[in-house]
Amino acid sequence: MRARPGVRVVDADVSDDAEIGEGSSIWHLAQVREGAVLGRACVVGRGAYIGTGVHMGDHCKVQNYALVYEPAELEDGVFIGPAVVLTNDHYPRAVNPDGSLKSGHDWEPVGVTVREGASVGARATCVAPVTIGRWAMVAAGSVVVRDVPDFALVAGVPARRIRWVGRAGVPLEDLGGGRFRCPQTGTDYVEESPDRLVELEGRPA
């Protein structure tokens, strides 16, 4: 394990070929595979799995028993809830058509990308290949089968957008005329289309 100062590993299985950023913690029974790269101040909870070559940015949290299969990519500030699954196979089979056991050469892994600040709630499943947009939120127990826009709150099976959320994670107030405001931060947003919300901070209102 290539670790920087302040890394804490407690009864976890961490490959010698993994790179762990400064200030990160990996807890009991977690497994971090070869080639995985974790940024600074990440937390990997009990029993979580981080697959071969998975990339995580800074300040990510992967909660207990979540399964992050390669080639997933998590940008800075991503939250992965307990027992979340990020899949990596279009057509999963244990065997080939001739009945022989599949090996790593018999299929092409596809990944889930989770953009900056996004959250995936407990026991949700993201079916690769999908992208979860910046600061989006996937409700607990949802099944995501298509891309999630920035700032969208999606829920259900399959997951559909039900609200917009801001960086604080709380639902935005509808001001009318395609304008929204975060009740916690006061930041304004504008809906440019049904699938696109833009943050107005630093931009002309």
Residue carrying the six token digits 């307990």: 82
Q: How far apart are the C-alpha atoms of 99 and 79, rounded to whole Å? A: 39
In a domain, 22, yes or no: yes
In a domain, 201, yes or no: no
| The model's pTM | 0.93
For residue 109, the domain's CATH number is 2.160.10.10
In a domain, 198, yes or no: no
> Residue 114: pLDDT above 80?
yes
Residue 103: per-residue pLDDT = 86
In a domain, 63, yes or no: yes
pLDDT band at 126 (very low <50, low <70, confident <90, very high): very high
Number of structural domains, the chain? 1
Give Cα separations from 165 to 62, 73, 74, 137, 201 (angstroms): 21, 22, 19, 8, 15
pLDDT band at 3 (very low <50, low <70, confident <90, very high): low
- List the domain range (segments joined by +) for residue 88: 2-165
15: left (phi over 0), alpha (psi -120 to 50) or beta: beta
In a domain, 25, yes or no: yes
pLDDT band at 202 (very low <50, low <70, confident <90, very high): low
